[in-house]
Amino acid sequence: MADFQQTGAITTLHALRPEAWQQLDAELRRWARRRPLGLVLPALHSEFENPAIHNILAELERVDWIERLVLVLSQADAGQYESVCRLFARFGGRAAVLWRESPEIQELLAEINEAGFAAAIPGKGRACWMGVGYLLAKGDCEVIAFQDCDIKTYHRKMLARLAAPLMAPDLDFEFSKAYYARFNRKLNGRLTRLMVGPLLQALRRCGVSCGFLDYLGWFRYPLSGEIAMDARLARNIEVSPDWGLEISTLAEVYRRVPASRICQVDVSECYDHKHQTLSAGDPGKGLHRMAREVAEAIFRAASADGAVLTRELLAAALPLAYRREALDMTLRCRADAVLNGLEYDLHAETESVEVFARGLEEAAEEFLADPAGRAPLPAWQRVEAALPGVVGRFGAAAGLEEAAWREQATA
């Protein structure tokens, strides 16, 4: 997006010259020798039925500065696993397919869970956590990046811009997060536009303040799934296994990394990926569930940073303030859409606000009933302290999968 404004204490890296990514790509080949990159791709097998992931793999095949690439595959049977392995054979020895349902991985996850850690809860968070464990076991990546597998408009420049701040030798960042404009024929990104932003404004309107909420407001797209971090940081953070993953990750970074070493990066002029259904009548699905889990994550992180969230606030004042802020936001978004020649359905947007408001109220009830919430996925450093050698064993278990598909590729 063509501006150069800096907001808050984190650094915003703009795409002032979109074509400059080609020069950056050439530089990354040199930088990767000093700061090797590992890339984690969490994916359900169902995503291989869509063209987006095949375009992503075609783009990544043209990137020669990735040290390791690991796909964490979930909800796949043995035959589906084998078909995915054949697709990944193009990357040779630098790639691995980590199959969640494999006996080796299931046994190891059960052992970690039995040791008292929350490793049994499925979800994107656990997939990303498993990918980190694999890369830490290999021990040859200084930077770890994460990327969704449903991006319809993917281009390899997105990874180049995301990873470059951590790989460049004359910069000093430990964490980078992507931001972008989400649209196709209409504005997308409802959860960010109509829930997270208005919720932060509503909390301020209700007099709630803490450093974490200010920090969260500095990010242009706090729910983006594309991030990169120093491998030492990845070893030491705890994250949520559910849709609170992105907020919980930002909370851990807030706690551990100085703001001067955090950046957000404009990675794309236009970003589009798979859209979740609203699921107005079912709080366990779609954007309804996402709104509830994201709001819970915000409440818990803000509370841990000293924000006082009382029952009176969460049950009465905040829902009213949120609806006011969110409905105002629909009018602002409508104006933006009209001036950019995009479609805008004000009724549908207002319906989304009402579903998000219900999700917010449900999140408040769950937070008040159990402020600590479910245990996060543990830091790998802590797991290894409790189970010495477990990271290496995790890599060995993954290595069995890697060896299996290499054998298939040469058969």
Q: How far apart are CA 342 and CA 30, in angstroms?
A: 41
For 129, the token pair is 């956590």
- pLDDT computed for residue 121 by the predictor: 84
Q: How far apart are CA 67 and CA 59, in angstroms?
A: 16
Structure confidence by residue, pLDDT tens digits, 126-136: 999 999 999 99
Count CB neighbours of 220 within 10 A: 19
- pLDDT computed for residue 399 by the predictor: 58
Edge-first strand order for the sheet with 37-44 is: 11-13, 262-271, 175-182, 227-230, 143-146, 37-44, 66-74, 95-99
Task: Report the residue count for the chain.
Answer: 411
For 268, the token pair is 């794309």
Instruction: Return the residue matching tokens 């006996």.
Output: 103
Q: Which DSSP category does 239 fall into?
A: B
For 265, the token pair is 């990066």
Whether the CB-CB separation of 81 and 50 falls below 8 Å is answered with no
- pLDDT computed for residue 248 by the predictor: 95
- pLDDT computed for residue 402 by the predictor: 56
Helices (H), 75-189: 78-88, 103-114, 124-138, 157-167
Count CB neighbours of 335 within 10 A: 11
- pLDDT computed for residue 269 by the predictor: 83
Count CB neighbours of 122 within 10 A: 12
- pLDDT computed for residue 274 by the predictor: 73
- Point out the residues of the chain with pLDDT beneath 50: none
- pLDDT computed for residue 405 by the predictor: 52
Q: Which helix (H) or strand (E) holds 410?
A: helix 390-410
Give the residue from 394, 126, 364, 131 showing the smallest Cα distance to 239. 126
Q: Which DSSP category does 305 fall into?
A: T
Structure confidence by residue, pLDDT tens digits, 325-363: 999 999 999 999 999 999 999 999 999 999 999 999 999
Q: Which helix (H) or strand (E) holds 371?
A: none
- Angle at 125 (CA atoms; ends 119, 126), nearest 5 degrees: 30
Structure confidence by residue, pLDDT tens digits, 173-188: 999 999 998 888 999 9
Helices (H), 370-389: 380-386
The reply to whether the predicted model has a pTM over 0.85 is yes
Q: How far apart are CA 60 and CA 173, in angstroms?
A: 24
